[in-house]
Amino acid sequence: MLNMEAPRPTEGFFARELGALLAPDRIRVGAAAARAYECDAYTVDRAEPWAIALPESTEEVAVLVRWCVRHGVPFTPRGAGTGLSGGAMAARGGIIVSTKRMTQILEVDLPNRRILAQAGIANKRLSDAVAAAGLHFAPDPSSQTVSTLGGNIAENSGGPHTLKYGVTAQHILGLTLVDPTGEVVHLGGDATGGPGLDFVGLVVGAEGTLGIVTEAWVKLTPLPEAVHTLLASFAEIDQATASVAEIVGSGILPAALEMMDEGIMRAVSQAFRLSYPEGARALLLIECDGAPEASAKEAAEAERICRAHRALAVEIAEDEAARQRLWIARKKGIGAMGRLAPSIVTHDGVIPRSKLPEMLRFVYEVAEQHRLLVANIFHAGDGNLHPCFGFDDRDPEQIRQVVEAGEKILRKCVELGGSLSGEHGVGVEKSELMSLMFSPDDLCLQADAKRIFNEGDLCNPCKVFPSQKGCIEHRARWRGVAW
Amino acid sequence: MNAELSELASHCIRCGFCLESCPTFLVTGEETESPRGRIYLARGSLEGRLDWRQAAPHLDACLGCRGCETACPSGVQYGQIVELAREEIAARRAAPGLRLLLGMLTRPGVLRRLGALGRRLPGARMPRILGLLFSNEPPVAGLPVAQWSGMLPPLDETLLMPITGQAFILDGCAMGSLFPRVQEASARLLRRVGLAPKRLASGCCGALHAHSGYVAQGAAMARRVLARLPENDVLVATAAGCGSWLKEQAHGKRRVLDLSELLHENGLGEALKKAPGYWAVATYHDACHLAHAQGIRSQPRELITAIPGLTLLPMPESDLCCGSGGISNLTHPSQAVALQTRKLENAQATGASLLIQGNPGCHLWLAPAAKARGLTVLHTAEALEAAFIGLEWFCDGAKQTAEAERT
């Protein structure tokens, strides 16, 4: 048994042992590999793994996990590494278990509208595989061209269209999990709504702390017959939020209802030379889909509501190319921030929709106090706000400012009656803030639930729950590491 | 510290949107073999957290396809980052093998001799020693085989539109010596849109050098090529890699265009509608340096679609690198074969019998393996000119036909 406080084993040890266990080409060690895997898309916290394993099957994952348990080595699952809360960071070192060599579609079952795939496949490839049959995998995080099925399951990912179609949890029928002891477990079934306790529901959104999902049966959803997309611009944020409230209140269920602020417009117009009406301070992207007549009627009603709230302009997409253009600000807004700052961090909080104007004012104040560039994207339909800060990650002082500003914003979300996380997960970023939302009893109950799967503390340690054994001292090492 | 590299690399926000567009990441699944990973390693080395020698193998394995630039929402100029990072590596490492290979492959004379050798030894591989200079794997790339260069049927000048201008076709290294038929077809197509075709026998433009990290040498070679082009004139590239490099290097009044761009601009589409055409089912492979580096996707497709009788079918992953990647099929054979297989499987799945593309590297790399699967690889210029004079002039039987006609 390796002691956590003992010096870490040599690279040669991992390469030799794990290479013999699986195959030499499945194991990577060395300075370059450790560095490349030290963080995901959340770059504020970084910790190098000791080795990286790239298993090709459920059985290989199980063999690896059993080896880790035997040797007391922590292990952390990782998909594409697009997570935004540090969920794929090797917080206590140990081994990164990458699913990126498990990317096969294993079975397509069109009559029953479902598909079985390995965890490492990119989300979008599932939809591409069945597009010809008029079906798709509905969860659509912005990262869907790259983020993996396993990662989406871990984070219970959302996306613009989850307002109507639901988050990942609603689309997972069953899964294969290598539990933290290395046992292969099949959960759920072939159909929705099995009897008994919902273990699939527990695993989806557990951020990889209950084991490593290696395969899943996912539900396929028919593609909508018609799609209507509008982009409305407003001079005041309050006008946009009032429009959102009325649209939702009128009984329309848009497929997507997204708001973008001035910061996003500025980044996008610099990056793509797009222009928005002068004086616009908020954009509202509305998409209605479904049967042609019904969706057209919904879109017309949404347009009427926006105009009634004095929209500066309402642009309506006439064809697919125009639709893509209207989506640019939403899809590429955060990326465009990268053109303005060396590094960004995208926060994720939930607030009651009615509190948005107040919340945005607070975000701008905080950004000014901490001298940070800021832009906001808001899933207005479900109250999920993404403030995005730009900063220079080579400057330790700026990193400190970013961490502080982020904490202030999350505290405010909870204060306003919202939540710490909508869809990015808690990861290492927010674990210490969990006590803002949950009482010690609540947290104990969650820890008990976790114990059903996980007797040890090796599986994705230091994630989600605050003040875990052996994590406090490590936290000081990886929190806010500058270049 | 290299301030330019530092600035360019700092725009990467590590979102990872590039991953699935990267051929080496798709083949290995490894972060170190991804654009994001490579930028991270280059930054780490630049800022003294990592040794350039540790980053080098991962930067070496990059095919330079720039598919990641298309996918990047932050506008990261990855191609430049890799060139500059390779320059840092080249400054710290003697790479005689790479230099020798570059020297050989970019000299028309040497290429012509290699080509002649390749024709005499069917199935000949690159000399084993060359492959072993870079990896422990035996080489898989064939010796370049030069195209048959017999005469195509004469153009009937009386039926052509009057000449209204001129354009210079870049012979460079590979195109002039290995693809005379493509060059000839290109010249005829220019004439068909009223441009007098001139040839620029210029030597290598330095694209391969620059993409391998010898940026200064590559730039000097490009300057020499461009200096031979009369001012206010147009240089037409039939090789995607050369076109994109020379576009980056051309300043002032000298214009560089890809052949498909120029033909599209000058109304070849109209002329094609009146051509006899031919019956074929084809698909189109986007050469990386056309699609990703120059944004040229629609022009060749629109021209090919205008060929009467031809059906163009879309190919999945049409803009994923075929593994050739400049000289990557020599330096990283197994990676190159994996991508070649993926490309040909995608092409076969469409049901097409013609695979049309616009770059000599892809052409040389794909043609022999495609043939084994019953697919014929053609350059866009060949496919287009075939609409006027018949496909048989550009397929395997072409030589016999021409010889029979001569005797």
Q: Which two tokens stand for residue B8?
A: 């360019």
Helix or strand holding residue A356 (H, E) = helix A356-369
pLDDT (average), residues A464-477: 79
Cβ proximity of A14 and B15 under 8 Å: no
Contact B29 A100 (CB under 8 A): yes
For helices B360-372 and B333-350, angle between their N-to-C axes, nearest 10 degrees: 70
Cβ proximity of B269 and B261 under 8 Å: no
Residues within 8 A of B (CB atoms), A 325-384 only? 331-332, 334-339, 342-344
Is the pLDDT at A448 greater than 90? The verdict is no
B41 inside 8 A of chain A by CB:
yes
Separation of alpha carbons A435 and A423, rounded Å: 18
Which residues from chain A sit within 8 angstroms of residue B49, using beta carbons? 35, 483
Q: In the prediction, which pLDDT does B111 show? A: 63
Neighbouring CB atoms inside 10 A of A134's CB total 12
Residues within 8 A of A (CB atoms), B 193-212 only? none
Search chain A and give the residue with CA nearest B28. A101
Search chain A and give the residue with CA nearest B9. A342
pLDDT (average), residues A87-116: 96
CA distance B4 to chain A (A): 14
Least CB-CB distance to B29: which of A41, A101, A344? A101
Of A142, A103, A99, A76, residue with least CA distance to B16: A142
Q: Which of A27, A29, A35 to mutate to test the interface with B (most CBs of B within 10 A)?
A: A35
Separation of alpha carbons A311 and A307, rounded Å: 5
Least CB-CB distance to A343: which of B13, B25, B49? B13
What does pTM read for this prediction? 0.90
Which residues from chain B sit within 8 angstroms of residue A103, using beta carbons? 29
Least CB-CB distance to A271: which of B15, B30, B75? B75
Q: In the prediction, which pLDDT does A5 show? A: 47
- pLDDT tens-digit series, residues A172-207: 999 999 999 999 999 987 666 667 888 999 999 999
Separation of alpha carbons A481 and A229, rounded Å: 42
Contact B54 A342 (CB under 8 A): no
Separation of alpha carbons A76 and A40, rounded Å: 12
**Non-local CB neighbours of A265 within 8 Å, separated by 6+ positions:** A276, A280, A283, A329
B270 inside 8 A of chain A by CB:
no
Contact A146 B19 (CB under 8 A): yes
Mean pLDDT by 10 residues, chain B (407 residues): 88 94 96 97 93 95 93 92 92 74 69 57 51 60 71 85 94 87 95 94 87 87 92 93 93 88 96 95 97 96 97 96 86 92 96 96 93 95 95 77 63
Q: Which two tokens stand for residue A300?
A: 């017309």
- pLDDT tens-digit series, residues A11-55: 889 999 999 999 999 999 999 999 999 999 999 899 999 999 999
Q: What 3-state DSSP class applies to B251?
A: coil
Which residues from chain A sit within 8 angstroms of residue B13, using beta carbons? 41, 43, 335, 337-338, 343-344
Separation of alpha carbons B332 and B131, rounded Å: 9
Is the pLDDT at A296 greater than 90? The verdict is yes
The 3 state secondary structure assigned to A82-105 is CCCCCCCCCECECEEEECCCCCCE
Q: Which of B13, B58, B69, B350 to mutate to test the interface with A (most CBs of A within 10 A)?
A: B13
B37 inside 8 A of chain A by CB:
yes
Q: In the prediction, which pLDDT does B132 show? A: 54
Separation of alpha carbons A460 and A151, rounded Å: 13
Is the pLDDT at A452 greater than 90? The verdict is no
Kindly report the backbone phi and psi dihedral angles of residue A255, in degrees, each rounded to the nearest multiple of 5, phi listed first: -70, -35
Of A392, A482, A273, residue with least CA distance to B7: A392
- pLDDT tens-digit series, residues A353-385: 889 889 999 999 999 999 999 999 999 888 999
Q: Which amino acid does the sequence have at A195? A: P
Percent helix, strand and coil across chain B, each to the nearest 5: 55, 10, 35
Place of tokens 């360019």: B8
- pLDDT tens-digit series, residues A199-239: 999 999 999 999 999 999 999 999 999 999 999 999 999 99
Kindly report the backbone phi and psi dihedral angles of residue B282, in degrees, each rounded to the nearest multiple of 5, phi listed first: -125, 160
pLDDT band at A1 (very low <50, low <70, confident <90, very high): very low
Which residues from chain A sit within 8 angstroms of residue B11, using beta carbons? 338-339, 342
Neighbouring CB atoms inside 10 A of A110's CB total 12
Burial of A366 (0-12, 13-18, 19+ CB in 10 A): buried
Rounded to 5°, angle at Cα A293 from A290 and A294: 55
Separation of alpha carbons A123 and A135, rounded Å: 14
CA distance A267 to chain B (A): 10
Rounded to 5°, angle at Cα A82 from A81 and A83: 95
Contact B15 A335 (CB under 8 A): yes
Cβ proximity of A99 and A148 under 8 Å: yes
Separation of alpha carbons B120 and B300, rounded Å: 34
Contact B50 A32 (CB under 8 A): yes
Least CB-CB distance to A483: which of B16, B47, B57? B47
Q: Which of A146, A274, A330, A345 to mutate to test the interface with B (most CBs of B within 10 A)?
A: A146
Q: In the prediction, which pLDDT does B202 show? A: 82
